[in-house]
Structure 1
């Protein structure tokens, strides 16, 4: 296979897709901290939600699969720049451990604005990406055909594990929480909440790594394959979801209206991501990736800027959103708000009983704050993207 990549080249289409997802992601986290319903019910609870709120949450379902898949792509492209698989394994291992460390420290502070042991330790996206990188450090040593077969098999078949309950493992229940079933367990008095079990996310990242070989093809053929794959996955989602036999723990059924029936059809399981959830998100994402590949973006385009500094943006946007929530709560409730200022909202694991019954704001406020967050972060991320583009310090690859 002949490569068309230059050792120092970046693929704009991947940066653009990742950047677009970063912008969308900030909407969901803004909703967690600001929306009035976030304290009391999930926006995908069809007994209480409404279409606009549902789609505000649903569109962000694309974020974690795209993060994880493109991280695998990035690992493959990193390998093509004159490195060996041994060097790649070392990089993935150290970067994965670094991300897990950030989840337990920097992000824990971002969620709660304190390290008090009364708050649970949340193992969320950064933990998932870090854990998957540690696993990929071993998996990249496999031959590509074997790794591709493994990735597809795990993504397609992991829902067969759904009937296995963590409680059946007794004192080792936490191990199964880490592997496949979201849940909580206690370690030395700390409550550990696993939001993102590693299966099937590991397979999503390794699938991205294997799919990276497509980017060695000449551009026209590459775009055709990416587009065809995206269409095939999207069609597979529609067909399998319509058949309603396998692929998601919850079967859909006709609802009180056509629109709510559609919502139920789209309401696939994220924790852990079902086969149908991954088909529903990765299929359209690959279609967008193919379309982005046909365009040339300015280096100052926001989706390119954000896509080049995803970790920096991720951490910064969480702190900014929480800080804005902190200020809004203080202005609204004054001194009586002190108990909730240094706490994450219930949507992020905070204690619901601390929050006033009227806590939160209408959805239009969520969108206004979201836009403010994205616009505010652009100059900072552009500055850091320029640093990464002009310097070669080894530590920059960890940021």
Structure 2
């Protein structure tokens, strides 16, 4: 096993992480400039244009793949190549706490330039999942495999369990499973937008997949395993979705057109992520991870750079979008009045402009990310590794 072989493995992880980060940028550009065409969860296919539907659908891959890779990366951090095993629990606890702190401060501010409501979103979910993995990682691997599968496959069975806001257990259940407000009175409202229980299952499955990327497994075996796992997820998805037996709140139905029928089949719940949602995104993610094993191109190098500095990219791109909106608003003014308060809003006229904006920002962010990646690689400062 050579260092080059190991590096290729790590490169494939960074490339895939970079790919979902760029997809995330497209979705966040949509939320910044296309909010007047907001989508429900799951989406209403009768009122959502196909271009908007598939743009939003593409963004569904971001959180599951990123959180799965977070668990995988935690295992690789714990088991470095040709070095003694490291204690991963401390790293997970500190990194998880940092992500939660960032979510509550500079990330939340980047969305609205205000603190009227604190939304606990994806960084919150990742942070809580990392802290949970720090505790769960003491368990035997076979227990973790069973736990991860049980959570991912079983959490939808808990949907009938509900609590009213004034009942004991409401706060914990809202954080774990039911999206909702934790606090509605006082100086600031707090909403748990990403129920964390399913994501804990995903990060655990990523962690227990780590041995597949150790020196004892050759490239061909790993690719075959990833392909088999990805296909198994998609077959399971097709069976569940075709029969409408479990996991989704809206059944799949044949529509008037092929495109509408495909939209109906792929219309999955994200908050919390349903089993079909996770089978679809993680199944495709496994296939992509196998394919990217041998990726060598300028595009893959760009994606690798983004994937090596995900937190830096995440924070910077949010503020670039916020600043871009303010600048364009000052230049062009509002194009419509939007929302319950009739707020003036600068809206793009079509989804194509969202994609163009994301492409331009991707190019602009490459050099800063590359510079930070070099700094991160060369720096001996301990705090840098948490970024």
TM score, norm. by length of structure 2 = 0.91
Mapped to 1, the partners of 2:351 and 2:11 lie a distance apart of 33
Aligned position for 2:382: 394
- Say if 1:72 and 1:205, in contact at 8 Å, map to a contact too: yes
Mapped to 2, the partners of 1:313 and 1:301 lie a distance apart of 15
Aligned position for 2:341: 353
Q: Is 1:263 the equivalent of 2:260? A: no
Mapped to 2, the partners of 1:360 and 1:223 lie a distance apart of 42
Farther off after superposition, 22-31 or 355-364: 355-364
SS of 1:185's partner is strand
Q: CA, structure 1 residues 160+39, in 2 after alignment: closer, same or farther (shift >3 Å)?
A: closer
- Report Cα offsets for 1:153-205 as digits up to 9, x if no partner: 11011110111123276254222110101111217622111111111100100
Aligned position for 1:204: 202
Mapped to 2, the partners of 1:238 and 1:125 lie a distance apart of 27
Mapped to 2, the partners of 1:43 and 1:205 lie a distance apart of 23
- Aligned-pair CA distance for 1:323: 1.1
2:182 pairs with one of 185, 192, 208: 185
- Aligned-pair CA distance for 1:44: 2.6
- Aligned-pair CA distance for 1:45: 2.0
Mapped to 1, the partners of 2:205 and 2:72 lie a distance apart of 8
SS of 1:267's partner is coil
- Say if 1:39 and 1:352, in contact at 8 Å, map to a contact too: no
Mapped to 2, the partners of 1:137 and 1:5 lie a distance apart of 28
- Say if 2:41 and 2:270, in contact at 8 Å, map to a contact too: no
Aligned position for 2:316: 316
- Say if 2:42 and 2:268, in contact at 8 Å, map to a contact too: no
Farther off after superposition, 151-160 or 227-236: 227-236
- Aligned-pair CA distance for 1:95: 0.6
Gap runs ≥5 in structure 1: 341-345
- Say if 2:74 and 2:88, in contact at 8 Å, map to a contact too: yes
Q: Is 1:20 the equivalent of 2:19? A: yes
Aligned position for 2:43: 44
Mapped to 1, the partners of 2:141 and 2:172 lie a distance apart of 29
Aligned position for 1:148: 145
1:372 pairs with one of 357, 360, 373: 360
Mapped to 2, the partners of 1:136 and 1:198 lie a distance apart of 12
Q: CA, structure 1 residues 285+41, in 2 after alignment: closer, same or farther (shift >3 Å)?
A: closer
Q: CA, structure 1 residues 172+332, in 2 after alignment: closer, same or farther (shift >3 Å)?
A: farther
Aligned position for 1:327: 327
Mapped to 2, the partners of 1:299 and 1:356 lie a distance apart of 38
Q: Is 1:137 the equivalent of 2:125? A: no
SS of 2:119's partner is strand
Q: How does 1:264-343 map to 2 (within 5 A)?
A: 264-296=264-296, 301-333=301-333
Q: Is 1:218 the equivalent of 2:224? A: no
- Aligned-pair CA distance for 1:47: 2.3
Gap runs ≥5 in structure 2: none
- Say if 1:132 and 1:201, in contact at 8 Å, map to a contact too: yes
- Say if 1:174 and 1:185, in contact at 8 Å, map to a contact too: yes
Aligned position for 1:121: 118
Mapped to 2, the partners of 1:139 and 1:289 lie a distance apart of 25
- Report Cα offsets for 1:33-74 as digits up to 9, x if no partner: 111633586793212111111001101100000110000000
- Say if 2:212 and 2:222, in contact at 8 Å, map to a contact too: yes
Aligned position for 1:170: 167
Q: CA, structure 1 residues 356+188, in 2 after alignment: closer, same or farther (shift >3 Å)?
A: closer
- Say if 1:36 and 1:358, in contact at 8 Å, map to a contact too: no
Mapped to 1, the partners of 2:181 and 2:41 lie a distance apart of 19
Q: Is 1:71 the equivalent of 2:70? A: yes
TM score, norm. by length of structure 1 = 0.89
